[in-house]
């Protein structure tokens, strides 16, 4: 049962996981927006809420550590939604998602920062490319540009802070690393992530039935060209 400290702003529900107690927190952020803190369980919570197909929900937007729910105009939060918000979904399996195999041209003009990143990681170019392409990534959420995927699963040895000075223009299709995420730029524009390669696929097309090629929960395997 959800205990609301302030019905107009937040909800807090204690949940026991083994010997540990966790708190499920949600908060009104506008008249129609509800922000649910999810931590590492963002995809699990997003998948669970989407699967309910509750009529009052207009949109669900996963982000880094939270999910934003947009209610339909004039709709009230149902008892089913309140119950769903109070559940601890950290132990729920994430959706398998669609697997995408994407060919990457690594290094050179396509990946201007690859050699420097490899040196920082204590690897040669071949070892770095192998490490980057040997794992399966999962789309955590979309943001920054329409269709820009934030991919989780980057090996810890390849993590790198964002560039101190962002580039004025990054080419569309650029595969880049920022912190613990890997991403792909759908369109050209400014960017502060390190470039390791480029793909020749359309990441976002507003004319498609599903404009974004990759959706939250999808899986990605990179293949070196």
Could you read off the pLDDT of 3-28 as tens digits, one per residue? 333 333 445 444 444 444 445 689 99
Note whether 117 and 127 are within 8 A (CB): no
Q: Write down the H helix ranges in the chain.
A: 42-52, 79-86, 114-120, 125-133
CATH T-level topology, domain 99-224: Cyclophilin (2.40.100)
Sequence ranges of the domains in the chain: 3-86, 99-224
Q: Whole-prediction pTM value?
A: 0.78
Note whether 146 and 186 are within 8 A (CB): yes
Residue 40 pLDDT:
79
Spans of the chain, pLDDT less than 70: 1-24, 88-95
Could you read off the pLDDT of 155-194 as tens digits, one per residue? 999 999 999 999 999 999 999 999 999 999 999 999 999 9
Residue entry with tokens 């890997």:
182
Is the domain spanning 3-86 CATH 3.30.1360.40? The answer is: yes
* C-alpha to C-alpha distance for 173 and 197, rounded to whole angstroms: 8
Residue 39 pLDDT:
82
* C-alpha to C-alpha distance for 206 and 157, rounded to whole angstroms: 36
């Amino acid at each position: 049962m959800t205990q609301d400290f302030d019905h107009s702003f937040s909800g807090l529900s204690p949940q026991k996981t083994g010997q540990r107690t966790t708190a499920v927190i949600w908060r009104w952020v506008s008249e129609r927006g509800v922000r649910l803190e999810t931590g590492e369980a963002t995809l699990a919570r997003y998948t669970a809420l989407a699967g309910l197909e509750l009529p009052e929900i207009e949109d669900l937007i996963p982000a880094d550590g939270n999910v934003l729910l947009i209610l339909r105009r004039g709709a009230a939060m149902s008892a089913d939604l309140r119950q769903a918000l109070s559940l601890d979904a950290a132990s729920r399996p994430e959706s398998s998602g669609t697997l995408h195999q994407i060919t990457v041209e690594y290094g050179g003009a396509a990946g201007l920062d690859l050699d420097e990143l490899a040196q920082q990681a204590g690897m040669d170019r071949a070892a770095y490319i192998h490490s980057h392409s040997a794992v399966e990534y999962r789309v955590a959420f979309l943001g920054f540009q329409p269709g820009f995927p934030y991919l989780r699963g980057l090996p810890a040895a390849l993590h790198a802070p964002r560039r101190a000075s962002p580039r004025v223009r990054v080419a569309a299709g650029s595969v880049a690393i920022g912190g613990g995420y890997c991403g792909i730029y759908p369109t050209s524009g400014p960017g502060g992530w390190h470039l390791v390669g480029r793909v020749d696929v359309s990441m976002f097309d507003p004319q498609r039935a599903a404009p974004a090629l990759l959706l939250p929960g999808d899986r990605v395997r990179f293949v070196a060209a």
